[in-house]
Amino acid sequence: MRIMRVGMQVCLLLVLAVLASTALVQGQARAQPMLTLFELEAGVRAAGLGGAFAGLADDENAIFYNPAALAYLDDRARFSSLYESHFGLTDFGQLALAYKGLGLGLLLFNSRPIIQRDEQGKEAGQFNYSAVGLAGAYASTLGKLPVPLELPRGLERLALGARLKLYRVKALEEGSGASLALDPSVMFDFGRLSAGGLELEGLRLGLVLENLLGVPMEFGSGHREGWPLGFRFGGSVSVRGLSLAADLESNGTFHLGAEYRLAGLAIAGLGEGGLALRGGLILGRRLSFNFGLGLGLKGFQIDYAFSAHPQLPLSHLLGFSAALDLDP
């Protein structure tokens, strides 16, 4: 009961933080925002959940959705990657690494050669557009901070995290630039709970304040763009192999996802593995549906996600991930 009371206090603080950040976002709505790769849904598993991951974030992709959740990871080193090509014109790649409260993420985008034309419309050469996003994060629960704190029972499980992002765009000289931003985050894991005779395997709430501190990007032309200030609030609940998650972004976009895990499946010639079935939706200006599958075996996993958008072409994502025990 004490943990529940502490959890309710944390919930109240998160709600107040959401309201405060909403007012802050509205107050800066006139600033010209900068579009970055960090606004894309990262990770094949999270994509299969419709991007509803800020309140779940139980793998290495917490670096992209809620850095504070890195504090709850186990002692295994985690890695994931994906690659996506659009019509042979652009390439997008992602890498994520995590271990014991530490995370490192990399986002890469590159276009095929683009024809440059002069004021008369004549071809004047070619150039490539590329963008690189690098993120590093640290997280810890209050109970594991190096500073001794007198905390109410249960509050030691509250996790705090911070993510530093470096973003670089390269095109023509006037369209190239670099910048960085800081995202603080928080998550509270209630652990196992009983509700009406039902044993909940996990209940989590998380909040990320996106680009709370940032250095505007100044392009070669002298044009400046700032990081878009916002937040992402999410929650998740897990019971009997089923996880339900929901996220709300400051721009009003709502994400809802579900994942069902089947463990102990016998795979011919390979041993025992697991299968995950996923589905999600994204409700913004348009409604889009996502679906996904995951097949795991001995710490390795292959994930697939499919996204159906009413206006954009169908999107297919394929990724590989691993969780390895480093102890001998």
pLDDT of residue 31: 44
Rounded-to-integer distance, Cα 90 and Cα 109, Å? 7
Compute the average pLDDT of residues 79-89: 78
Buried b (16+ CB within 10 A) or exposed e, 234-262: bbbbbeeeebbbbbbbbeeebbbbbbebe
pLDDT of residue 21: 46
Rounded-to-integer distance, Cα 70 and Cα 193, Å? 21
43-52, 172-181, 185-194, 306-315: the lowest-pLDDT one: 306-315
- pTM score: 0.84
Distances in Å between the alpha carbon of 35 and those of 40, 203, 227? 10, 33, 8
List pLDDT tens digits, range 92-121: 889 999 998 999 999 998 887 666 666 666
pLDDT confidence bin for 158, thresholds 50/70/90: very high
Environment class of residue 276 by beta-carbon count within 10 Å: exposed (0-12), middle (13-18) or buried (19+)? buried
pLDDT of 178 above 50:
yes
Rounded-to-integer distance, Cα 91 and Cα 80, Å? 17
Domain of residue 168 covers 2-325
**Overall number of domains in the chain:** 1
pLDDT of residue 8: 46
Bridge-based pairing of strands 230-239 and 242-249 is: antiparallel
Counting residues of the chain whose pLDDT is more than 70, the rounded percentage is 78
Secondary structure (DSSP) of 215-258? EPEE-TTS-EEBPPPEEEEEEEEEETTEEEEEEEETTS-EEEEE
pLDDT of 259 above 70:
yes
List pLDDT tens digits, range 187-209: 999 888 776 667 778 899 999 99
Compute the average pLDDT of residues 162-169: 95
Alpha helices in 28-132 (DSSP H): 44-48, 62-65
Distances in Å between the alpha carbon of 151 and those of 14, 142, 144, 148? 18, 8, 12, 9
pLDDT of residue 116: 65
Rounded-to-integer distance, Cα 219 and Cα 240, Å? 51
pLDDT of residue 316: 84
- Name the residue with higher pLDDT: 143 or 279: 279
pLDDT of residue 267: 60
List pLDDT tens digits, range 35-48: 888 988 888 999 99
Looking at the DSSP bridge assignments, the partners of residue 208 are: 185, 232
Average pLDDT, the chain: 82
